[in-house]
Amino acid sequence: MSKMLGDSTTKDSDLAFGTTPPWPLRRFSVEQYQRLGALGILTPEDRVELLEGWIVEKMNHGPMHGYIVRMLADWLHSHLPPGFIVQCQLPLTTERSEPEPDLSIIRGVHKDFRNRHPSGRECRLVIEVADTSVDRDRAKAAIYRSAGVEEYWIINISERSIERYQFAEGLQSDQPAILPANSRITLDISDAVMVLDLATLWNAE
């Protein structure tokens, strides 16, 4: 299916979600995209997500990507206060996109999402782990901001750093804070204060 929808050789640096190749393509609404899944035209094997109306192939993941996703998932599960859940590589629904970030912290309980995906405004934090996808993940910042996500992290594997975007009212900025590998990052969620030592992501000891 993905070969029919676009050129798989397009580079992430070309994806500004406004630039299109010089041949006929079409954008899909969220409802149309979901319908393609319900009809079995798109399946999990297609490994795609909807970004600003475009059906985009997801990137392959290296071992370090999986390692960091698992480490962060364990950390979030062990520190989150009641009233929030962790979602891993599952969809969020926005006005024109349905991305599947590596990790999301969602307000609510599991039964709230039996019949729908979480919206951006229900996301306290979205995390993407980037090995080969850093340009695409930076472009996603605008999607998450407009959807009402409060905070967005890109775990940049090659640079051993976190790019932290804070979109909450009064903290909005187009430029992320860059936190190097020896930093500690504090996340306030409800009454909980969660502190992550970034060295734990890079050091196996």
pLDDT of 44: 84
pLDDT of 116: 95
In tens digits, what is the pLDDT along the chain, a chain of 205 residues? 443 344 444 444 444 555 666 777 788 999 999 999 999 999 888 889 999 989 998 888 889 999 999 999 999 999 999 999 999 999 999 999 999 999 999 999 999 999 999 999 999 999 999 988 899 999 999 999 999 999 999 999 999 999 999 987 665 567 899 999 999 999 999 888 999 999 988 875 4
Where do the H-state alpha helices sit in the chain? 2-5, 30-38, 63-79, 134-147, 199-202
Residue spans of the domains in the chain: they are: 2-57, 63-202
pLDDT of 169: 66
The whole-angstrom separation of Cα 201 and Cα 205 is: 10
152 near 141, Cβ under 8 Å?
Answer: yes
Question: Residue 48, exposed/middle/buried by CB under 10 A (0-12, 13-18, 19+)?
Answer: buried
- Going by the DSSP 8-state scheme, the letter that residue 98 receives in this structure is B
CATH number of 63-202: 3.90.1570.10
Bridge partner residues of 123 (DSSP): 106
pLDDT of 1: 47
The whole-angstrom separation of Cα 95 and Cα 199 is: 37
